[in-house]
Structure formats: C-alpha cells, structure tokens
Amino acid sequence: MRYRLLLAALLFAGVTTPVLAEQKIVHSERSLYREVLVYEQDGERCMCFTRQCRIGRQSCVNLQEPRRFALNYARMMMAGTLFLGPAPKRILVIGLGGGTLPMALAEVLPAAQIDVVEIDPAVTRVAKRFFGFKDGPKMKVTEVDGRVYVKRAIREGLRYDAILLDAFDHEYIPEHLLTREFLAEVKSLLSPEGVLVGNTFSSSRLYDHESTTYADVFGTFFNMKRENRVIAARPAGLPDAGSLRQRAMEYELALRPFGVDALSLLPLFTTRTDWNREARVLTDQYSPANLLNH
C-alpha cells in the first residue's frame, strides 16, 4: 500500500525525478486555495502546492535556460501546435502554473490572442515574480474558476483554435473539470478545426473513467504518454500521419528553443485503446475523483 501511494504521488503533474533533500525554498505564501511554494534544486526553480513538492511539481524552469521546458509534459502539450492551421487566432489555457506554456505559445504563435484562466491570484503573482511570466495585450489572464470562465465564454460566443487544459490542485484535476458536461462545454468553444489538449495522469484508478469520458465526448483521440498522459482531440477528426509529419517539420525550428523535438513527438500520437471501455463515464452527478484517484 505504501508503495502504491508513493507511486501515485510521483506520477502527479510532471514529476520526473525523486525529490532530493537539498531543495531550497525561496518563497512561500498562503492563498485562499492553497499554499504556493517555490523551490530551487539542481539548477531548476519549481512551483509546488505541497511542502518539499511531495505531491508533484506544478511548473519548473531551468535557471540557465529559462525558455527550455524542464518537464516532459510541457513538451507533449506543445504537440498541440501540430494540429493548428497556419494562423490560429485565439488560444485558451486553463491553469497558469508558472506560465511556461502560454509564454511559449506566445513566442511560437505571436499573432494569436492567448487567454489564460487561473483561479488563484497567488499563482499569478508567483508566476510573474519567479518564473518570468508576463501578461499584455496579447496575453490576458482572468482569475476565475475554469468552468465559470468556459460558461461565460459560451454565452459570449467566443471560439478558440486551441484549448489547453492544465488545471491541477494539490491532489489532481478538480473533479468538476473532469466530467462529460464540462468537456462538452469546452468542445462547444472550439473553432471548426480547433483542438483540445489536456494534461492528465498516465496511471491512476481514474484512468479508465477519464478515457471513456473523453471518448464519449470526442470519439477517437490521441493518447500520448511519457511520465504524464496528454490527450489531444479534435471534433473535426484527427490528422493523418502525413499531415502531422508535415506540421512537425514546419514547427521544428520554432519549437527547438523550448527543448521540443517536434519530429520525436510523432511516435507518441497513438489512438490505441488501453483502457476498460466499460468504465463509467464521469458526469456532474458522478465524478468521485477524490475516491478513484487513490
């Protein structure tokens, strides 16, 4: 039992290595939602929501090469750019963390409007002070619950060419951001060729339920796994291997400064079913993430 709990903890939100004793805490503040901590270790600075990052790291930067992604899940999330057309107009990122993903998107896609949703003002402050995040005319941060933002965006008739789901609390994705109803709301915000990219666990008791829920809303999706799992779905249908390779070649130089080898991402794009198809779909009436994730 202790081994399973430790394994589950290490799989959280981009964890790739064991936590070592020489971590140095450089900042701590208590918000309405959590304690937001910043640690430095082995040339990296990381944002965590638990002491000693014992249940994973929310975001990390390499202090010598701050543009280069420190966590593998961020590289997989950037694979969402391989779906985009040549001139995406608007991108939504739910979950700021240290801001590494939206900042990278802003550099790779400078013409796009990037809307970031972050429930916790303390996370926004820490991202700006310690991780180099900057908002501006093309990078707008709204501090509100992600589902509330989505509902408002639907009422306003907004459409997004890409939506990235990267919202985690100190345990996992909040349960109201896991359900069929939420994913259907997100789907309705996508432009005709829009893509959804979601960061999740690569292994947990929720895995089967999450998978059947995404399949229920989007049908076939790409299932990319390294330490974490990243789901990529497109209502218009998934691109074929030739299209993905062409896009990877087009984005190769733009992604390289972030430590992303676009061509090496291609083998991760699989549609193979590795979950129980009979698992119950998560809904607003049934989403016991606090029970299933242990």
- The pLDDT-based confidence of 1 (bands split at 50, 70, 90) is very low
Which among 13, 41, 62 is the end of a domain? 62
Count of structural domains within the chain = 2
How many CB atoms are located within 10 Å of the residue 67 CB? 14
How many CB atoms are located within 10 Å of the residue 209 CB? 23
- Residue 85 is predicted with a pLDDT of 72
- Residue 79 is predicted with a pLDDT of 86
The DSSP line for 158-201 is --EEEEEE----SSSS-GGGSSHHHHHHHHHHEEEEEEEEEEEE
- Residue 170 is predicted with a pLDDT of 66
- The pLDDT-based confidence of 11 (bands split at 50, 70, 90) is very low
Asked whether residue 142 carries a pLDDT value surpassing 90, the answer given is yes
Among residues 115, 161, 166, 169, which one is catalytic?
A: 166
Claim to verify: residue 224 and residue 103 sit in the same structural domain: yes
Instruction: Provide the whole-model pTM.
Output: 0.90
- Residue 293 is predicted with a pLDDT of 61
- The pLDDT-based confidence of 81 (bands split at 50, 70, 90) is confident
- Residue 17 is predicted with a pLDDT of 42
Claim to verify: residue 148 and residue 21 sit in the same structural domain: no
Asked whether residue 175 carries a pLDDT value surpassing 70, the answer given is yes
- pLDDT tens-place string over residues 16-38: 444 444 889 999 999 999 999 99
Domain with residue 198: its CATH number is 3.40.50.150
In a domain, 67, yes or no: no
The percent of residues in the chain predicted with pLDDT above 70, rounded, is: 90
Claim to verify: residue 84 and residue 51 sit in the same structural domain: no
In a domain, 48, yes or no: yes
- Residue 82 is predicted with a pLDDT of 83
Task: Give me the long-range contacts of 28-36 (CB less than 8 A, separation at least 24).
Answer: 29/122, 29/125, 29/126, 30/122, 31/120, 31/121, 31/122, 31/123, 32/120, 33/119, 33/120, 33/122, 33/169, 34/120, 34/122, 34/169, 34/170, 36/120, 36/122, 36/123, 36/126
Residue 13 DSSP one-character state: T
Claim to verify: residue 100 and residue 209 sit in the same structural domain: yes
Asked whether residue 12 carries a pLDDT value surpassing 80, the answer given is no
Residue 150 vs residue 226, higher pLDDT: 150
Claim to verify: residue 150 and residue 275 sit in the same structural domain: yes
- Residue 292 is predicted with a pLDDT of 61
Claim to verify: residue 109 and residue 244 sit in the same structural domain: yes
Which residue in the block uniquely carries the two structure tokens 């939506």? 163
Claim to verify: residue 41 and residue 139 sit in the same structural domain: no
- The pLDDT-based confidence of 294 (bands split at 50, 70, 90) is low
Claim to verify: residue 103 and residue 219 sit in the same structural domain: yes
Q: What is the mean pLDDT of residues 51-73?
A: 89
- pLDDT tens-place string over residues 94-138: 999 999 999 999 999 999 999 999 999 999 999 999 999 999 999
- Residue 205 is predicted with a pLDDT of 85
Whether residue 161 lies in the annotated active site: no
Which residue in the block uniquely carries the two structure tokens 């799992």? 229
Range of the domain at 207: 72-292
* Measured distance CA(215)–CA(249) in Å, rounded: 29
- pLDDT tens-place string over residues 189-237: 999 999 999 999 888 889 999 999 999 999 999 999 988 899 999 999 9
- Residue 95 is predicted with a pLDDT of 96
Claim to verify: residue 55 and residue 80 sit in the same structural domain: no
